[in-house]
Amino acid sequence: MSRSRPPARRTRRAQPLVLDYLARLRRSVSAVPPAQIAAVAEHLWRVVRSGGQVLIAGNGGSAATASHMALDLSKTTLGHRPPPGTQRVRALALSDPGAVLTAWANDGGYERVYAEQITALARPGDVVVLISVSGNSPNIVAAAHAAREARSSVVALLGRPGGALRVLADVAIVVPSEDYGVVEDLHLIINHIVTQHLRTGIEATARRRDARPHTRAKRRRDARPAL
């Protein structure tokens, strides 16, 4: 007969580590000012509402968070079965096109893999979200400079103390921890909060649009079968 629970001895070995990690995570969650998260959420909503795009970059685990964020912003913000005309978020994780990333790394060095893409893609009114625990990764710092040259704003998700990227960002959140796991967890939580805020804004915009008399009439005309 198989056991439904792990042996008590193994559980006792793991439990102190589990409790310690959860305690560190709770402390960091409590220490991040909600106003800072709200500022990031509002900044991204202003960019999206005005038609700007969101470019996102990070290294290692932060690259995975960048991919997750691009997916959430471009898809999760729409909800299920969005009606025609629903506003969409143009979001791209710069680490996802592997051919582009490796081409720039091969020809220009890894420090330029994000900066060159930002130079090609970013425009005034766009936002570049840079995710880095240290805030000192050379390619992320170069990306911030490229964003500023393109006149795009910079949002930074960082760990303590923030590094060089902190002073280059227009809006920054510094998770008060140097624990990479905890900081990366918080960055993903922040992503989910921002996604929810943008989804709420997109849904409210759609409701206001559908409430206009001419919009309702147009939708009725569009629904008529073709003769």
108-155 per-position pLDDT tens digit: 899 999 999 999 999 999 999 999 999 999 999 999 999 999 999 999
Per-residue tokens: 63:
């690259």
CA gap 115, 29 in Å, rounded: 31
pLDDT at position 1 is: 47
Write down the CATH number for the domain with range 33-76+88-208: 3.40.50.10490
User: What phi, psi does 86 have (nearest 5°)?
Assistant: -65, 135
Over range 194-199, report the average pLDDT.
97
Q: What distance lies between CA 124 and its chain's CA centroid?
A: 19
DSSP string, the chain: ---SS--HHHHHHHHHHHHHHHHHHHHHHHHS-HHHHHHHHHHHHHHHHTT--EEEEESTHHHHHHHHHHHHHHTGGG-SSPPTT-----EEETTS-HHHHHHHHHHH-GGGTTHHHHHHH--TT-EEEEEESSS--HHHHHHHHHHHHTT-EEEEEEETT-HHHHHH-SEEEEES---HHHHHHHHHHHHHHHHHHHHHHHHHHHHHHHHSHHHHHHHHHHHSPP-
**Residue carrying the six token digits 């106003």:** 35
| C-alpha closest to that of 157 among 146, 170, 139 | 170
Average pLDDT, the chain: 90
Residue 204 has pLDDT above 80, yes or no: yes
- pLDDT tens, 49-78? 999 999 999 999 999 999 999 999 999 999
Q: Say if residues 122 and 128 touch (Cβ distance below 8 Å).
A: yes
Rounded Cα–Cα distance for residues 113 and 160 (Å): 25
Tell me: the pLDDT tens digits for 76-111? Answer: 999 888 888 889 999 999 999 789 999 999 998 999
pLDDT at residue 216 tops 90: no
**Residue 13, pLDDT score:** 82
Q: How sure is the predictor about 9, in pLDDT bands with cuts at 50, 70 and 90?
A: low
> Facing residues of 174 across strands?
158
Residue showing tokens 């793991």: 14
